[in-house]
């Protein structure tokens, strides 16, 4: 892609986001801030048990409450099924309850208080069934089936599934079984990671309005207006032309808002009442009914020769998917694809299962399975290094995937800046020097490193670049900015491509009526995939501009060049030029028609080369391009309590090209802290079928005081040939290596080997005392 000089906020500038002012003065409007005239408020009723057959409902008392406009139960909802990979989920519990807390009924009333009060008066006649609460229990012969009709569900990929197993996947290269014999050192262990809550500060909610023709307009906290539209229409059996999905400002996603929450409920209520309906989940409901990060059980085995060459790796994972499959098949497949890590390991086999249980669904969360398998794989690399007496960074460098190496499975890797990430992180951290001084005699310090790779891409995207009559631009991509900064970045790409200031580019808000399809803000994909489309659409506009200008300036388009400030002129003739205004006026009124450039695109490079690798049950044949990273962390461990804290960190990420450096740093820093929370303290806890800590009192994430200021983000740019201005993604990779780097640092500090996340004071202290006893 063309280089563009930064101009008025173009590529490479840390431009402020276009909505910065409204966010700073409290005028940004999130879903809870919206209202419509004559609006009703809705509330859900949640199930009291984890697994049950629903026999009937008694809603008379609820309907009799003054101010109640509608009471809907599963019986009142169409029986459509939605689901990103396996269509196993109704809009609301229907005939069956599958997790404790699952919405079973919904009420719309004049006020939220009335709706909540009335919901509590609904009586559900149910017959409790034995609950299946772990993947192991779910796989026992004769275990109760959570989805009796699993075989009849539509699946969008060749799922290997049956009974309570929703998906089985395997990816292998080389000959792992034979390779162990050639290893001098083998490390094999079991690892566990806990479920993590996204904890977006904004809880989920939606508002549906309906017009006289029965067409619904829906706003919701979301990461994709198109996924909202598809999910609502599939579950409610509504033609998609009957639903228009819009987006308010979003108070963060991280994956919890990528698939549906209450949207189908408010739409059905709007259809039933003929009035606008708004439903905002309270924090407990948000914890209990949306989704969370999959807990993983991992068996990891890595073998090497005495000189530190990695020879083989075998990874087996078991995922608790919860009651509905949601994005889980994708998480399973992706985790296996990433479990080898950015290394040359000729013999690798990664396999796993996704199992239904009677718990809330688990789904997409920043990293999408990669953080979990990286925790196992990257700590195991350190164990091998320790066994061989090698520096863990040197061992990694020795085996690192080099530019040109394909990924595990054979996917082509076109840009690989890992080497530069390592060099820069190593230098900035002064690797080899001891970590920061202990603050007291009872605090021990340690240092750890981990590498990461992550893929940006997946599924379809588009862009429309339209020139207004005065030569300024409207950009429409359908991409939802969830706070990560895509609005800014896409505007910068468009502006730079056309050599105009960003102030000349307006951004249309995502609208399923008018925006080109965009799968969603997820998978670190928007800068790369949508950015590509924006650049391509801008190229079309450039061609149109030159066609018109060629006529006006009487020369061939090939002799023309775009000039900064919205002008086009003859190459080599500085004073022969015209403005975009003149070009646009000609297009609108005289010839050719209004200038519109559009592009649609889907990544089509296969992830698996059947000549290299065997794949079974892989849920996606093609994904995207590769980003790389290296994180070094210093930790301090309090030997009295076992509590570990991060004192400093260096996170170097190869992002291809930093369209907006401050925004890239924001992703690296935010990803680091979310990974740190996952590593040290965050854990959703179930007691039987009941989620024990669905509140911010009981589920804790890092505050300012738990987070080191000294997180140094280091941007590396190894241009991705097909990326817009060379860019690829950064949204998730900042989180991926963090738990492993912290674990490696804790090991360095106090000589324990964490195998379970989170690494709480209790787990650390027990391991330290066991280590003392063993000594």
**Which two structure tokens, joined as six digits, stand for 85?**
């990979």
CB of 580 or CB of 678, closer to other proteins? 678
Residue 30 binds other proteins, judged by CB under 8 A: yes
The nearest distance, CB 729 to other proteins, in angstroms, is 16
Residue 706 binds other proteins, judged by CB under 8 A: yes
The nearest distance, CB 589 to other proteins, in angstroms, is 37
According to CB under 8 A, which residues from 415 to 474 bind other proteins?
442
Residue 761 binds other proteins, judged by CB under 8 A: yes
- Rounded CA gap, 427 and 716, in Å? 14
Residue 696 binds other proteins, judged by CB under 8 A: yes
Total residues binding other proteins (CB under 8 A): 83
748-751 long-range contacts (CB < 8 A, ≥24 apart) are 748/435, 748/446, 748/447, 748/448, 749/435, 749/444, 749/445, 749/446, 749/635, 749/636, 749/637, 749/644, 750/444, 750/446, 750/637, 750/639
Residue 396 binds other proteins, judged by CB under 8 A: no
**Which two structure tokens, joined as six digits, stand for 168?**
């089985």
Report the relative pairing of strands 505-507 and 473-476 from DSSP bridges.
parallel
Report the relative pairing of strands 711-716 and 644-654 from DSSP bridges.
parallel
Binding-site member from 125, 762, 770, 771 for other proteins (CB under 8 A): 762
Binding-site member from 303, 485, 624, 726 for other proteins (CB under 8 A): 485
CB of 111 or CB of 503, closer to other proteins? 111
User: φ and ψ at 439, to 5 degrees?
Assistant: -85, -15
- Rounded CA gap, 81 and 324, in Å? 11
Binding-site member from 10, 11, 13, 17 for other proteins (CB under 8 A): 17
Residue 771 binds other proteins, judged by CB under 8 A: no
CB of 281 or CB of 332, closer to other proteins? 281
Q: Which stretch binds other proteins (CB under 8 A): 22-30, 80-88, 610-618, 625-633?
A: 22-30
Token pair 């808000």 in the structure block, residue = 509
Quick check: bond before 315 cis, omega within 30?
Answer: no
CB of 298 or CB of 715, closer to other proteins? 715
Q: Which stretch binds other proteins (CB under 8 A): 47-55, 153-161, 275-283, 350-358?
A: 275-283
> Half-sphere exposure of 46 toward its Cβ, with a 13 Å CA cutoff?
20
Q: Which stretch binds other proteins (CB under 8 A): 139-147, 194-202, 355-363, 522-530?
A: 194-202
The nearest distance, CB 706 to other proteins, in angstroms, is 5
Binding-site member from 1, 250, 337, 587 for other proteins (CB under 8 A): 250
Residue 482 binds other proteins, judged by CB under 8 A: yes
CB of 25 or CB of 558, closer to other proteins? 25
Residue 23 binds other proteins, judged by CB under 8 A: yes
- Rounded CA gap, 286 and 278, in Å? 15
Concatenating the DSSP letter of every residue in 49-92 gives SSSEEEEEEE-HHHHHSTTEEEEEEGGGS----B-SSB--B-SS
CB of 315 or CB of 673, closer to other proteins? 673
Token pair 């919904």 in the structure block, residue = 106
According to CB under 8 A, which residues from 654 to 673 bind other proteins?
662-663, 665-666, 668-673
Residue 254 binds other proteins, judged by CB under 8 A: yes
Residue 672 burial (10 A CB sphere; 0-12, 13-18, 19+): buried
CB of 374 or CB of 521, closer to other proteins? 521
CB of 209 or CB of 665, closer to other proteins? 665
**Nearest residue to 164 (alpha-carbon basis) of 204, 129, 137, 197:** 137
- Rounded CA gap, 48 and 45, in Å? 9
Residue 251 binds other proteins, judged by CB under 8 A: yes
Helix axes 370-388, 328-338, angle to 10 degrees: 20
CB of 226 or CB of 672, closer to other proteins? 672
Q: Taking CB under 8 A as the rule, which mask of x and - marks residues 707-726 in contact with other proteins? A: x-x-x---------------
Q: Taking CB under 8 A as the rule, which mask of x and - marks residues 99-128 in contact with other proteins? A: ------------xxxx-xx-----------
The nearest distance, CB 742 to other proteins, in angstroms, is 14
Binding-site member from 33, 151, 211, 513 for other proteins (CB under 8 A): 33
Where do the DSSP E strands lie in 110-262? 123-128, 165-173, 185-193, 205-210, 216-220, 243-246
Binding-site member from 591, 641, 721, 771 for other proteins (CB under 8 A): 641
The nearest distance, CB 62 to other proteins, in angstroms, is 13
Contact (Cβ atoms closer than 8 angstroms) between residue 410 and residue 611? yes
Contact (Cβ atoms closer than 8 angstroms) between residue 694 and residue 288? yes
Q: What is the 3-state secondary structure (H, E, C) of 203-246?
A: CCEEEEEECCCCCEEEEECCCCHHHHHHHHHHHHCCCHHHEEEE
CB of 121 or CB of 376, closer to other proteins? 121
């Amino acid at each position: 892609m063309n280089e563009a000089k930064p101009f008025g906020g173009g590529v490479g500038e840390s431009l402020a986001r276009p909505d910065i002012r409204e966010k700073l003065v409290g005028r940004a409007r999130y879903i809870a801030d919206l209202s419509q005239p004559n609006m009703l408020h809705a509330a859900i009723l949640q199930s009291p048990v984890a697994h049950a057959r629903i026999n009937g409902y008694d809603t008379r008392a609820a309907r009799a409450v003054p101010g109640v406009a509608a009471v809907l139960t599963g019986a009142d909802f169409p029986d459509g099924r939605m689901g990103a990979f396996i269509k196993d989920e109704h809009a609301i519990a229907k005939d069956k309850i599958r997790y404790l807390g699952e919405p079973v009924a919904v009420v719309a009333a004049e006020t939220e208080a009335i709706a909540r009060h009335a919901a509590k008066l609904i009586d559900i006649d149910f017959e409790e069934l034995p609950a299946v609460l772990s993947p192991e229990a779910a796989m026992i012969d004769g275990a109760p089936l959570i989805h009796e009709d699993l075989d009849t569900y539509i699946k969008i990929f060749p799922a290997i599934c049956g009974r309570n197993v929703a998906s089985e996947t395997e990816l292998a290269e080389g000959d792992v079984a034979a390779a162990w014999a050639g290893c001098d050192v083998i490390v094999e262990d079991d690892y566990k990671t806990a479920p993590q809550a996204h904890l977006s500060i904004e809880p989920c909610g939606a508002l549906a309005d309906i017009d006289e023709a029965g067409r619904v307009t829906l706003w919701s906290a979301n990461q994709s207006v198109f996924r909202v539209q598809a999910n609502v229409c599939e579950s409610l059996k509504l033609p998609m032309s009957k639903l228009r999905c819009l987006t308010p400002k979003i108070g963060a996603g991280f994956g919890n808002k990528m698939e549906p929450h209450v949207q189908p409920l408010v739409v059905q209520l709007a259809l039933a009442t003929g009035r606008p309906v708004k439903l905002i989940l309270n924090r407990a409901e948000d914890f209990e009914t949306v989704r969370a990060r999959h807990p993983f059980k991992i068996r990891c085995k890595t073998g090497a020769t005495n000189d530190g060459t990695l020879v083989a790796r075998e990874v087996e994972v078991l995922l608790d998917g919860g009651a509905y499959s949601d994005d889980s098949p994708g998480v399973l497949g992706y985790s296996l694809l990433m479990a080898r890590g950015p290394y040359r390991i000729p013999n690798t086999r990664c396999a796993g299962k996704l199992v239904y249980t009677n718990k809330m669904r688990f789904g997409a969360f920043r990293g999408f399975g990669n953080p979990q398998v990286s925790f196992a794989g990257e700590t195991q690399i350190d164990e091998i290094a320790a066994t061989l007496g090698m520096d863990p960074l040197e061992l990694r460098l020795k085996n690192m995937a080099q530019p040109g190496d394909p990924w595990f499975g054979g996917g082509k890797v076109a840009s690989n800046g890992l080497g530069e990430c390592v060099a820069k992180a190593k230098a900035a951290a002064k690797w080899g020097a001891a970590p920061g001084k202990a603050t007291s005699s009872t605090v021990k310090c340690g240092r750890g490193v981990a590498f990461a790779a992550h893929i940006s891409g997946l599924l379809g995207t588009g862009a429309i670049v339209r020139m207004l009559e005065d030569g300024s631009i409207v950009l429409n991509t359908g991409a939802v900015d969830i706070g990560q900064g895509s609005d800014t970045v896409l505007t910068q790409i468009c502006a730079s491509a056309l050599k105009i200031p960003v102030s000349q580019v307006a951004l249309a808000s995502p609208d399923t009526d008018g925006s080109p399809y965009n799968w969603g803000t997820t998978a670190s994909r928007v800068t790369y995939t949508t950015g590509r489309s924006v650049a391509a659409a801008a190229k079309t506009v450039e061609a149109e501009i030159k066609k018109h200008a060629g006529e006006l300036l009487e020369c061939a388009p090939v002799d023309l060049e775009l000039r900064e400030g919205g002008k086009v002129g003859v190459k080599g003739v500085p004073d022969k030029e015209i403005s975009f205004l003149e070009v646009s006026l000609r297009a609108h009124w005289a010839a050719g028609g209004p200038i519109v450039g559009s592009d649609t695109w889907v990544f089509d490079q296969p992830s698996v080369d059947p000549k290299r690798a065997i794949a079974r049950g892989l849920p996606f044949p093609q994904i995207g391009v590769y980003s790389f990273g290296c994180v070094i962390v210093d930790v301090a461990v309090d030997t009295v309590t076992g509590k570990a804290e991060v004192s400093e960190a260096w996170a170097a990420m190869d992002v291809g090209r930093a369209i907006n450096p401050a925004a890239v740093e924001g992703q690296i820093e935010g990803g680091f802290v979310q990974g740190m929370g996952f590593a040290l303290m965050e854990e959703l806890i179930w007691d039987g079928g009941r989620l024990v800590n669905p509140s911010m009192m009981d589920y804790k994430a890092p505050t300012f005081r738990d987070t080191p200021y000294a997180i140094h983000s280091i941007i590396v740019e190894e241009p991705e040939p097909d990326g817009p201005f060379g860019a690829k993604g950064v949204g998730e990779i900042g989180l991926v290596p963090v738990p492993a780097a912290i674990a490696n640092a804790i090991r360095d500090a106090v000589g324990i080997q964490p195998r379970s996340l989170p690494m709480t004071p209790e787990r650390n202290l027990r391991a330290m005392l066991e280590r003392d006893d063993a000594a």
